[in-house]
Amino acid sequence: MNSFYAECLDCGNQFHYDPHILKCPRCQSQWSEARYDLATLASVLPARFAARSFDLWRYRELLPVYEYHPSSSMGEGGTPLIHAVNLGMMLGCPNIFIKDERQGPTNSFKDRQAAVGVASLKEAGILEAVLASTGNVAISYSAYAARAGIKLWAFLTSLVPAEKMREVAIYGTQVVKVTASYDQAKLVAAEFARQRGLCLERGARTIPSVEAMKTIAYEIVEQITTQFDTEQRPAHSLPPPWRAPDWYFQSVSGGLGPLGVQKGFSELHAMGLIDKLPAIACIQAEGCAPMVHAWKQGKEVAEPIQSPRTYITTLATGDPGRTYTLLQQRMKAGGGGFFESVSDEETFRAIHILAKMEGVSVEPAAAVAFAGLIKAVRAGHIRPTETVVVNCTGHTMPVEKHVLGEGWARNVVLSAQTMAETPEEGLLAALSRVTADRFPRVAIVDDTPDARILIRRILQSQGEYTIFEAIDGRQAIELANREPLDLMILDLMMPEVDGFGVLDSLKANPQNAHIPVIVVTAKELTPDEKERLRGRIHSLMQKGEFMNDELADEIRALLK
Ligand SMILES: Cc1ncc(COP(=O)(O)O)c(C=O)c1O
Ligand SMILES: [Zn+2]
């Protein structure tokens, strides 16, 4: 059992972490951070880490999940640190390293966030969640939610490239395309979550998200140390076990990444595992660079950009809110650094350089950091002897158009006028068309937990259902008597009252006799048993033999 707690950033209150708790119980602030017993952990962790495989869960004592569940992992984290020899030579800086986050399960650094975030939701028993995204967060969360049996609603601004949207949809996430800016899509998602009482991913205010990002810092110092350990240390000194780079570069949208990575370096420093904090370079796209404007004007609060003007929509967070304020404070108090912007043209040029010189093809959002590095070296901000790590944040592998067909997204259009005049009503009106009021009510009856999860997942990924579960025949009968059901998906082999018994009971009660039943069974039926089902069930599916689409098609046809 992992030991950690949440600490309010406004009043210092310390409380038990639970994803259901969104505010500090004392002052109602939405901003808190995870705290660990670093003093104790410092002496034991390096040896434990060394005995584990190189992935994100290597740092499990420092992650906000109570129990470690290896089964939900897809090998997140543990990405390579590649020495960029050619780029280094071109720039006159021989120690440039690429942290290759393209090698995560969905090809971006957001896989860390999704892996830890979904593990935390699952642990808390949360089955449905909402997020807004410029693409990659939705893709990563969709993959992990699919595995965990969590239904996901992704609100994507209509500016998100179709390739990314299809990638989200292929995982069975409910895609809502919001014709508005990313900041407005976030508002719509938050309102939707509030109306339906669903859990919302809140970026830097979501503890697992920040904590997940910090694993990048831990990995970097371990990897940099290995790179340089051929150097001899003076025998009399007792050095910290690890080395920090001089610089960490990252492309920045909302700022979650650098905020988390900074926290990681700070913890390492607090534990005495590194002897200095790296400087952090946050690079934004020129057409949407609210943090850069604020930094250059010496402001603590960033002025939101209303209409981003960049092709790099992945980075189009117009309003970074408090994340900027925290980030710049911590950079100033820590190892320093700067905020800088680059043009789309500089970014596209960096894509070519990186691919042609280093064999690393990246998406524009990731290339922004490299364009920023090139600019910083040319401006003389980086000394030739310094060690630089650039987070190569991602490269989407698109789902081809013909794979998905049409009709996989819902549309919400926010007109600038309604939003300016009556924002609340505008949001409500726009959302009212996203879903119907009443969803078909489906009971899943199965004594095997994994089978219930699978069937729930099939339903979740196909549309909107109100789902009930019963773990045996007796519960199923009680459920049918209590709730008006539109469909029952029924297992046959269950202890005490089996599926046949449930059917007998349903058919004997005039109120329930009409409920359609799909039998899903692992049982090889005898002719006698087949006879007992004849005329009483809608269809029969063999576990392990039906593909999920067949069950979904049956259900859709029945509930039309
Ligand atoms: C590929 C890529 N790089 C960088 C970012 C910036 O992320 P943040 O500022 O939230 O850390 C994102 C965010 O979506 C991204 O997808
Ligand atoms: Zn508080």
252 alpha carbon, closest ligand:
1
- Whether 510 shows a pLDDT value over 60: the answer reads yes
Q: Return the pLDDT at 556.
A: 85
- Whether 558 shows a pLDDT value over 80: the answer reads yes
Rounded mean pLDDT of the chain?
92
Query: Among 100, 182, 252, which residue has the most ligand 1 atoms within 8 Å of its CB, making it the best to mutate?
Result: 252
Q: How far is the CA of 210 from the centre of ligand 2 (A)?
A: 18
- Whether 235 shows a pLDDT value over 50: the answer reads no
Q: How far is the CA of 253 from the centre of ligand 1 (A)?
A: 5
- Whether 181 shows a pLDDT value over 80: the answer reads yes
CA distances from 209 to 64, 155, 487 (A): 10, 18, 38
240-272 pLDDT, tens per residue?
789 999 999 999 999 999 999 999 999 999 999
- Whether 442 shows a pLDDT value over 90: the answer reads yes
CB-ligand 1 contact for 254 (6 Å cutoff): yes
90-119 pLDDT, tens per residue?
898 999 999 999 999 999 999 999 999 999
491 pLDDT tier (thresholds 50, 70, 90): very high
Q: N- to C-terminal Cα distance for the chain?
A: 47
Q: How far apart are CA 429 and CA 331, in angstroms?
A: 42
61 vs 400, which has greater pLDDT?
A: 61
Mean pLDDT of 489-513: 95
Q: How far is the CA of 248 from the centre of ligand 1 (A)?
A: 15
CB-ligand 1 contact for 314 (6 Å cutoff): yes
**Which H or E run contains 110?**
helix 110-123
- CB neighbour burial string for 219-239, b if at least 16 within 10 angstroms, e if fewer: bbbbbbbebeeeeeeeeeeee
Q: How far is the CA of 14 from the centre of ligand 2 (A)?
A: 8
CB-ligand 1 contact for 120 (6 Å cutoff): no
Q: How far is the CA of 65 from the centre of ligand 2 (A)?
A: 22
436 pLDDT tier (thresholds 50, 70, 90): low
Q: Which residues, 6+ apart, have CB-to-CB distance to 553 below 8 Å?
A: none
CB-ligand 1 contact for 108 (6 Å cutoff): yes
Quick check: 265 and 272 in contact, CB under 8 A? Answer: no
- Among 145, 141, 151, which Cα is nearest to 110's? 141
For ligand 1, atom 11, name the residue with the nearest CA: 257
Q: Give the count of beta carbons closer than 10 Å to the beta carbon of residue 406.
A: 6
β-pairing, 14-15 vs 5-8, is antiparallel
Mean pLDDT of 440-462: 89
Mean pLDDT of 374-390: 96
For ligand 1, atom 16, name the residue with the nearest CA: 136
Q: How far is the CA of 270 from the centre of ligand 1 (A)?
A: 27
Quick check: 291 and 302 in contact, CB under 8 A? Answer: yes
312-347 pLDDT, tens per residue?
999 999 999 999 999 999 999 999 999 999 999 999
Q: Return the pLDDT at 412.
A: 85
Query: Among 110, 167, 363, which residue has the most ligand 1 atoms within 8 Å of its CB, making it the best to mutate?
Result: 110
Q: Return the pLDDT at 464.
A: 84
- Whether 237 shows a pLDDT value over 50: the answer reads no
410 pLDDT tier (thresholds 50, 70, 90): confident
Give the range among 44-58, 403-417, 522-536 with minimum mean pLDDT.
403-417
- Whether 236 shows a pLDDT value over 50: the answer reads no
Nearest-atom index, ligand 1, CA of 363: 1
- Whether 545 shows a pLDDT value over 80: the answer reads no
For ligand 1, atom 4, name the residue with the nearest CA: 251
Mean pLDDT of 21-45: 96
Torsion sign over Cα 490, 491, 495, 500? positive
